[in-house]
């Protein structure tokens, strides 16, 4: 019974790492190439290769060590690279696109005029 519970936990861990890698790969593919250069990050092709290998390892090579290394790469992309790409591309928090630096939470700030 304990072994069944552990194997279920490991299977769930594998699935979480696979979903994390697929989400990171999709987000890396959707970003523009020039945003990577402007954010001073590795090239888009670098991240696509690393994250593609991560997805392939998660699907075809059931070795926890390699999958954990891929999870680290996915987390680095999602926590470090993606926010930098969004900042350069003009995507801010809250899903707002564009706008001005003087925009407040309820619209543009006009300086009390």
pLDDT for 89 equals 84
What pLDDT, on a 0 to 100 scale, did the predictor assign at position 93? 56
Distance CA 77, CA 44 (A): 11
pLDDT, position 69: 93
C-alpha–C-alpha distance, residues 71 and 59, integer Å: 13
Q: What's the length of the chain?
A: 113
Per domain, the residue ranges of the chain are 9-91
pTM for this model (two decimals): 0.74
Low-confidence ranges of the chain (pLDDT < 50): 94-96
Determine how β-strand 107-108 pairs with β-strand 103-104.
antiparallel
SS3 (DSSP) at 78? helix
């Amino acid at each position: 019974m304990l072994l069944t519970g552990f194997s279920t936990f490991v299977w769930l861990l594998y699935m979480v790492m696979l979903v994390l890698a697929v989400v990171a790969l999709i987000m890396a593919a959707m970003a523009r190439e020039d945003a990577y250069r402007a954010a001073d990050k590795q090239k888009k092709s670098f991240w696509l290769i690393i994250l593609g290998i991560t997805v392939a390892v998660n699907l075809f090579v059931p070795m926890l060590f390699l999958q954990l290394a891929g999870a680290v790469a996915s987390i680095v992309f999602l926590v470090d690279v993606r926010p930098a790409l969004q900042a350069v591309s003009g995507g801010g928090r809250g899903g707002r696109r564009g706008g001005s630096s003087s925009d407040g939470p309820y619209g543009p700030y006009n300086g009390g005029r």
